[in-house]
């Protein structure tokens, strides 16, 4: 290969050399653009999708616990004003919870995320679920069945709903960690490819320059040698 290159004319060597260097530079640029686009897409997904989903997941847990606390306060409160305030807060928390669950369902984009948020919605809002049981306990209190109301509320299982909410939060957190790692890998890949291809282009350019310099200097030495022979005195 090198012998074939050395036998080419200088103009052809220059064309091939600069063509190879240009090809490597273009390859470096295309690779950087592609990997950078992938990195940007991952970053956008984390910022505009997974982080809001993570916030929604924790808000679901917070609202679920807050509604449960105020539901208990309503059932235990003897003062009508305290009971009314607790019931009002409970209803507000449940309304907010419905909105956040709908947001989380829209943001869920993996099977695990969709499964966990669907399980929460089923455990909490389905007919006969935790919310229905809680409303039943409230109705019993309003009818004066205080002990039955307490027993009904205590028997209502909030744990499955909280487990599903925490499962959704954990699923989103895992996805954030995985995509953050993928983004870091893409950053390192861009740097590695840039350095590798850039260094290769530099070495190739230097090698071609040396070969061209030798190709030019060899004929000059031959000319000098011929001139030196001609300048010798003839006897």
pLDDT tens-place string over residues 120-165: 888 889 888 888 888 998 899 888 888 888 887 777 777 777 788 8
Of all residues in the chain, what percent carry a pLDDT higher than 70?
Answer: 71
Task: Compute how many other C-beta atoms are within 10 angstroms of the C-beta atom of residue 100.
Answer: 19
| The pLDDT of residue 5 is above 60 | no
Nearest CA to 123 out of 90, 162, 93 is that of 162
Rounded average pLDDT over 101-118 = 89
Mean pLDDT of 50-75: 90
Give the integer Cα–Cα distance in Å for 136 and 150. Answer: 11
| pLDDT for 111 beyond 70 | yes
CA 26, chain centre distance (Å): 28
What pLDDT is stored for residue 96 in this prediction?
A: 95
Rounded distance, CA 161 to CA 124, Å? Answer: 6
Spatial separation of the C-alpha atoms in residues 2 and 143, rounded to whole Å: 99
Contacts with 131 (C-beta within 8 Å, 6 or more apart), sequence order: 94, 124, 125
Tokens of 106: 């829209």
Predicted confidence band at 2 (pLDDT cuts at 50, 70, 90)?
very low
């Amino acid at each position: 290969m090198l012998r074939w290159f050395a036998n080419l004319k200088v103009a052809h060597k220059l064309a091939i050399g600069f063509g190879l260097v240009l090809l490597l530079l273009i390859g470096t640029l295309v690779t950087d653009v592609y990997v950078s686009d992938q990195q940007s897409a991952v970053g956008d997904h984390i910022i505009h999708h997974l982080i809001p989903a993570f916030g929604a997941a924790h808000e679901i847990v917070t609202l679920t616990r807050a509604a449960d606390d105020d539901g208990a306060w309503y059932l235990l409160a003897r003062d009508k004003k305290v009971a009314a305030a607790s019931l009002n807060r409970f209803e507000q928390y449940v309304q907010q919870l419905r909105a956040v669950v709908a947001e989380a369902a829209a943001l869920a984009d993996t099977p695990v995320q969709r499964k966990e948020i669907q399980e929460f919605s089923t455990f909490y809002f389905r007919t006969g679920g935790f919310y229905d049981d809680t409303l039943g306990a409230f109705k019993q209190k309003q009818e004066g069945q205080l002990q039955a109301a307490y027993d009904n509320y205590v028997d209502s299982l909030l744990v499955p709903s909280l487990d599903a909410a925490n499962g959704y939060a954990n699923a989103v957190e895992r996805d954030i960690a995985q995509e953050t790692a993928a983004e870091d890998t893409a950053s390192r890949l861009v740097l590695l490819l840039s350095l590798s291809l850039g260094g290769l282009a530099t070495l190739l350019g230097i090698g071609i320059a040396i070969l061209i310099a030798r190709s030019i200097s060899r004929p000059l030495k031959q000319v000098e040698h011929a001139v030196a022979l001609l300048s010798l005195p003839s006897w």
